[in-house]
Structure 1
Amino acid sequence: MNAEDALRGVLFDKDGTLFEYHGTWAPILAEAAEVAARGQAALVPEMLEAIGYDTSCHRIRPGSIAGGGDTFGLVDAWLTIAGGWERAALIAEMDGLFVRLAPERSLPVTELPPFFAGLKDRGFVLGIATNDVEASARASLTRFGIDGFVDFSAGYDRGYGQKPGPGMALAFCAATGLAPHQIAVVGDNTHDLEMGRSAGAGLNIGVLTGTSGHDDLAPFADHVIESIVALPALLDGLTR
C-alpha cells in the first residue's frame, strides 16, 4: 500500500460503537417518551414501539429510529401519537434532554482514553459522526476524557446532513485534508456503513456492540468485529 492509498483517518459513530447502545439509550428513550407524553402515561408504550423500542424485552430494534435515527425522526413519530407540542418545541425539548442525560449515563465499551491514545500513537486522525445532537456528542467526549484525541466531531444538527447520507464523512475529510479512500468508518448500524460507502470511504467496519447483528452489517461492511477493542489489531494487519 503506497502512502497516498494508506488509511490515515478513522471516523467513529458514537452510540453503539464507543458506548454500549441498549444499556445507555433504552432508559434515556423511556424517560424522553414520558416527557413527550406530558402526563399521558398510557401513550408511552405505543410511543416507544413506534420508534423501534421493544418494550417486552427493553431492547432497540436494528434499523429503527431509536437504533440509528435522529431527533427529527423521533419527534415526527411521536407527534402522531402525543399531541400538544409544536414540532420545533419538542425537538428542542428532546435535544436538551439528550444533552443532559447522554453524557451522564453513557456506558463505554472499553476504557476510551487509552484506546484513542493508541490510535493516535499509530498516526491516525480521529473523528466522531453521530445522529445525536452535536452538543451531546461534545459533552460525552469531554465527560470520558477523549475530546483531546478527536480532530473532528459532528452531530445531526451540525449542518452536514444526517446518516446515511455522506455529508458527515465528507466533512471529516474536508476538515482533516484526507481523501475519502484514506478513511475508515466504524459503526454499529447500517446507516453508519451506508454513510461510509456513499462517501467513498476506503474501509467500512461494523461492530456488534449496538443494535445490529453480524448478518445485518455484513452486506455493508468490509469487516465485522465484536467491538472497537479489536480495531487496532485489524488496522495493524491491514496497514503492514
Structure 2
Amino acid sequence: MAVQSDLSAIQGLLFDKDGTLLRYDESWGPVNREAARIAAAGGGSELEERLLDACGMDPVSGKTRPDSLFAAGTAAEIAAGFVTAGSPLAVDALTVELDDLFVRASDFSVAVTDLSAFFGRLKARGFRLGVASSDNERSIRETARRFGFLEYLDFIAGYDSGHGSKPEPGMVLGFCKAVGLDPSQVAVIGDNNHDLHMAASAGAGLKVAVLTGTGSPATLEAMADHLLGDITGIETLLPTRERA
C-alpha cells in the first residue's frame, strides 16, 4: 500500500456514495433483490437467484462481490448484466425501472455516520466537497437531502451527469474544474477499485479506501494510499487547515 506523504496539499474531498457514505449490505441488499425481481419479470425465484449471482450478489448469504456489477456498475450496466443472464426485458426499459428503484432506495439507506454533521465539520475546515457515484444524479441528490448534507456539497456527479463513468477520470476532473483545484490537491474516497482506478487515472493526490462497502483489505490495499475503517477516519488523517 503506497502512502501519500504531503497530506497538507489536499484541499478537495470527492466521496463515492454507496459503500462509502452508506453501509453497503444494509442499504443495498434488499434493493438488489428487488432489482432482480423486477428483471425476472415473473420468471420465478430460480431466475431471480441466477440474476443476483450474475451481477455479483450471493442469493443465500446476501454478500456482494467486490468490483462486481452491483458493487460498481451503473443502472445501465446492471440492466445489461441482467439481460445477458436471462432477463426477458429490454435493456433500455429495464434501465429506467432500475434508476427509479435506486432513487426510491434512498429512503431505506443506512448512513455510516451522521452525514450532516460530518460534512459540516469538513466544510468548516475549508475543504471543497463532492460526491461521485455510479448511481444516477437524482438518487445522489435525494440521498444528500435525506441525510442533510446537500448544502455542503460543491459538486455532484452520477453516471448520467455528463462526466463519464468510473473508472474513467471524468468525475474527478469535473470536480476539479468545478472547484478550481488541481487533481493533485484532491483526495478520492471510495470502497472499491473502480473508485481507486478513477482516482489514479485522473492523477488525484490521494486515494483512500474504506471498509464499509464491498471491498476488503485484500482487494483494496494494493491501490489505496490509506485504508480506513470508515469515512470518519479522514478527519484525523488530514491535517487541520484554515478555512478558505
Query: Fold conserved (TM > 0.5)?
Result: yes
Map 1:220-239; keep pairs closer than 5 Å. 220-236=223-239
* Structure 2 contact 14–189 (Cα < 8 Å) conserved: yes
Distance (whole Å) between structure 2 residues aligned to residue 24 and residue 224 of structure 1 = 22
Deviations 1:39-58 (A, max 9, x none): 11231000000001011211
Match of 1:134 in 2: 137
Match of 2:175 in 1: 172
Map 1:192-203; keep pairs closer than 5 Å. 192-203=195-206
**Deviation of the 1:73 alpha carbon:** 1.5
Map 1:1-240; keep pairs closer than 5 Å. 6-41=9-44, 42-101=46-105, 103-236=106-239
SS in 1 for 2:129: strand
Identity %: 45
**CA 1:46–1:234 in 2, change beyond 3 Å: closer, same or farther?**
same
Distance (whole Å) between structure 1 residues aligned to residue 187 and residue 108 of structure 2 = 27
**Deviation of the 1:85 alpha carbon:** 2.1
**Deviation of the 1:35 alpha carbon:** 1.1
RMSD: 1.6
Question: What amino acid maps onto 1:69 in structure 2?
Answer: G
**CA 1:16–1:238 in 2, change beyond 3 Å: closer, same or farther?**
farther
Distance (whole Å) between structure 2 residues aligned to residue 82 and residue 33 of structure 1 = 11
Unaligned runs of 5+ in 2: 1-5
**Deviation of the 1:222 alpha carbon:** 0.6
Question: What amino acid maps onto 2:68 in structure 1?
Answer: S
Deviations 1:191-215 (A, max 9, x none): 0011011000000100000000112
**CA 1:238–1:189 in 2, change beyond 3 Å: closer, same or farther?**
farther
Unaligned runs of 5+ in 1: none
Distance (whole Å) between structure 2 residues aligned to residue 131 and residue 229 of structure 1 = 22
Distance (whole Å) between structure 2 residues aligned to residue 236 and residue 115 of structure 1 = 16
**Deviation of the 1:238 alpha carbon:** 10
Distance (whole Å) between structure 2 residues aligned to residue 60 and residue 83 of structure 1 = 20
Question: What amino acid maps onto 2:193 in structure 1?
Answer: T
Normalised to the residue count of structure 2, the TM-score between the two structures is 0.93
SS in 1 for 2:232: helix
Distance (whole Å) between structure 1 residues aligned to residue 87 and residue 111 of structure 2 = 35
Distance (whole Å) between structure 1 residues aligned to residue 86 and residue 103 of structure 2 = 22
SS in 2 for 1:59: coil
**CA 1:238–1:66 in 2, change beyond 3 Å: closer, same or farther?**
farther
Distance (whole Å) between structure 2 residues aligned to residue 148 and residue 7 of structure 1 = 21
Question: What amino acid maps onto 2:175 in structure 1?
Answer: F
